[in-house]
A = this chain, B = another copy of it.
């Protein structure tokens, strides 16, 4: 790290900072500038408690040089991690599509949705059994009953299932039924939950928090990895900004940025990013064009009667059209896409 001293910091203050840095295990290299002295502190330390340096007299600020994450950094593992769920690989050449209803409502709704998304070419089924809702008066999910229906939908279609876990006490239960455990945006910094899913034996889909920086998102992934689970899929789902004409603002730049910084696969949820079914397909196309490894899309057999997220859910017919469209974009950017009939589509000669 670099310690920037205040203009006019005394010799004694500079020496005291150097001493404290050496106590903390750093080698120090002061540089005496025209207006200010800066001290380079060398050492493989990522422990954040060196921020105490900030309190020493004469210190103006600290500039960290090393990134705070290690296990999830591309620097330490150049090839993209391929996460497997059933026979599906996320992080390979194919653009993987996760689809299904916001919430599991009943058997008919779920099985209808599952069959429809499978038929259109989806790879994985989504559906919430535990729903984090802004209002205590909204539908909170079918809980274990919902998990059982998901397992039944998997049997009926062969699709692996992903579902959200919202409580440390439920991780074991959810992991018994699901192929992938989802940690939602509002729990991205629920560190106990991160640690708990880090000890599970199932891959984790980690959504970005509404106001989480890319660095904080990767630190949340680092929590999971540090607990022993390296099967992590990152999911961008829109961030909160001043713009309120849509539910969130899809941060499409985060896709190539995270792929540069980390070896983890990155997928995009265009449904939550926009909150409006009419914009889901163009955003899905944009995500694939920007390099996303997959998509997560809300599909409901009858959006106008959905118990949650109706306004952003696609009908099966609209979802099938989306699959067509993103298939063409995937091929245009050198990826492989699956067609409705299960055949793969790729660039001629690609």
Contact = CB atoms under 8 A, between A and B. Distances in A.
A77 interface: no
Nearest to A70: B137
A178 interface: no
Interface in A161-216: 166-169, 186-187, 189-192, 195, 209-211, 213-216
Interface string A112-142: 0000000000000000000011111111000
A106 to B, nearest CB: 15
A90 interface: no
A48 B325 CA distance: 32
Number of copies: 4
A289 B286 contact: yes
A291 B287 contact: no
A167 B170 CA distance: 12
Interface stretch (A81-89, A145-153, A249-257): A249-257
Interface residues of A, number: 108
A182 to B, nearest CB: 15
Contact of A192 (B56, B167, B287, B307): B167
A66 B5 CA distance: 11
A213 B285 contact: no
A341 interface: no
B252 A286 contact: yes
A243 interface: yes
Interface string A42-54: 1110111101101
A253 to B, nearest CB: 5
A325 B75 CA distance: 27
A48 B241 contact: no
Contact of A289 (B139, B189, B329): B329
Contacts of A189: 132, 134, 186-187
Contacts of A51: 310-311
A340 interface: no
Nearest to A288: B289
Nearest to A34: B44
19 contacts: A29-B29, A31-B40, A32-B42, A34-B44, A40-B40, A51-B311, A52-B306, A54-B310, A55-B304, A55-B310, A63-B63, A136-B222, A167-B168, A252-B252, A253-B283, A255-B282, A285-B289, A329-B329, A332-B332
